[in-house]
A and B are shown apart, each in its own frame.
Chain A
């Protein structure tokens, strides 16, 4: 290892900007006081979106991963930031969802002026920006300990968002979430310690060269993956998610469900595909796929049984998350291709992005419905499509993507996964994907049925719900559908920077 593993590339400073810009905004808000909060936040949203787009453009134009070596200290002493194609796609998705949620919250918080709301509003903006920075740090982090810190920052930003309204119920959900997340990150940290003890480096790229089958690596990876599963809320560890995500205010739920749980999933993906040696990855992949399939089936049924709209959407999040975990055995299949060139990989990444867009749209639309109706009991929402046609449309379009009905991003993703399952010889996974789509159809149609139903009594008035509030959800839902119309060629972006890793893996 005479030549350095990482070298700062020309656009590398953009990665630093992606992390540091929201942090600067948080500090500026704290310094300038609540009056200028919204102005600073809106400015940062625009700047952050520009940075994410610039990173994506740089990735596509150079065709190679961006890296930045902080302070020019090489790992293992220093920390490297690196964005490959998948990270770039995640950054762009995060920016898109955060900006849409920010615009929604801007309109919604503009509606009320009472003091209690003022405090919740400032906290919301602070936490949204802190969360954005932490997410970006997770997506471009290359050092496992640095990733631990980023994950913890993510948790610390997400927990206050859960209990923004300060009710006992939501504080309880937040504490449960925090305890699950804390246990998860401690297990992850223990794994990090064992890995460092074994290999003397925490750099993912260096580890992918060094790692070999030995008990310490297996134990470390098992601890880290279980810890991350608790944070990602996969099936047996999902208990904290529905109350936390359903109790949060709508814009917060949208960010939590669409983005926050994707960060640990992204890390599991990197650990299994990059660090784990092939045999260990195969075993881990099988186990994760079983849990993913259980998650799809169990939580889809739970979603069907929910009486409250937001709880239903929250359970649907756990179910949709399951699809991301059945990617592992399909991508590591016997076709001889590296995992990131398989159709399962593309399908998984597409599912991740389309779910983020669709789920954020659903939670925002649900927020508008609650604003007008004052409750979210599905049975009593008859005819809400007449009062809120735009929200009903957003709900329906987002539902298309969740069900996997063409044309939508979710359809392409599930179609690719299904094809991969059939080709690789996993009939039970194929059956699960189909059953999951059917069940998703069940719970989405429950909502659509209410939207189109003849109202039982007088419809509530729209009160002060401006159109702009509904538009944010519609834009996200349309984006989720459009993702399915984009030809698959652009998804070459997902392979950028991956080939280099394959080269690095060679002796």
Chain B
């Protein structure tokens, strides 16, 4: 069991699982919005590690270092990066003092 856990694929998988756990906890349990965004990033990193472990194990194709999950991870990182950027931009907008006076009347329809 110990040996199995120390194989590179399994080790990465376990690290990924731990990161997913930490990230999920941060997203669900922390009150601060920034912490939640960081939590999402940790969760994402954990998931990418799991993909790495899957690639190492050679999923369906059966050969070591399956390239498909690696390609997926690269795309996933780009998507996760854009998501973080959008979230941080919104958070920054919220943190700024409202410099332009917001219209008093809710302008839901304009």
A residues at B contact (CB < 8 Å): 76-77, 112, 117, 145, 148-149, 152, 155-156, 159, 163, 165-168, 171-172, 174-175, 178-179, 182-183, 185-186, 189-190, 192-194, 196-201, 246-247, 249-250, 310, 366-371, 374-376
Contacts and interface: CB of A to CB of B under 8 A. Distances in A.
A168 B51 contact: no
A152 B108 contact: no
B12 to A, nearest CB: 12
A142 B74 CA distance: 20
Contacts of A117: 110
Contacts of B90: 159, 163, 171, 174-175, 178
B86 A156 contact: yes
A183 B83 CA distance: 11
Contact of A145 (B60, B62, B75, B108): B75
A149 B61 CA distance: 23
Interface of B: 20, 23, 27, 33, 36-37, 40, 43-44, 47, 50-51, 53-54, 57, 59-62, 66, 68-69, 72, 75-76, 79-80, 82-83, 86-87, 90-91, 93-94, 98, 102-103, 105-110
B94 A76 contact: no
Given A189-B47, A196-B60, A374 B105 contact: yes
State the main secondary structure of chain A at its contact with B: helix
B79 A149 contact: yes
Contact of B47 (A172, A174, A186, A368): A186
A182 B109 contact: no
28 contacts: A149-B79, A155-B83, A156-B86, A165-B107, A165-B110, A167-B102, A167-B103, A168-B93, A171-B90, A175-B90, A175-B91, A178-B87, A178-B90, A179-B33, A179-B37, A182-B87, A183-B40, A186-B23, A186-B40, A186-B44, A189-B47, A193-B50, A196-B68, A196-B72, A197-B53, A198-B59, A249-B108, A376-B106
Nearest to B83: A182
A182 B54 contact: no
A76 B66 CA distance: 12
B8 to A, nearest CB: 15
Contact of A77 (B23, B53, B62, B68): B68
B76 to A, nearest CB: 6
A152 B37 contact: no
**The 6 A-B residue pairs with the shortest CB-CB distance in the complex, in nearest-first order:** A200-B60, A370-B109, A197-B54, A367-B109, A175-B90, A200-B59
A375 B105 contact: yes
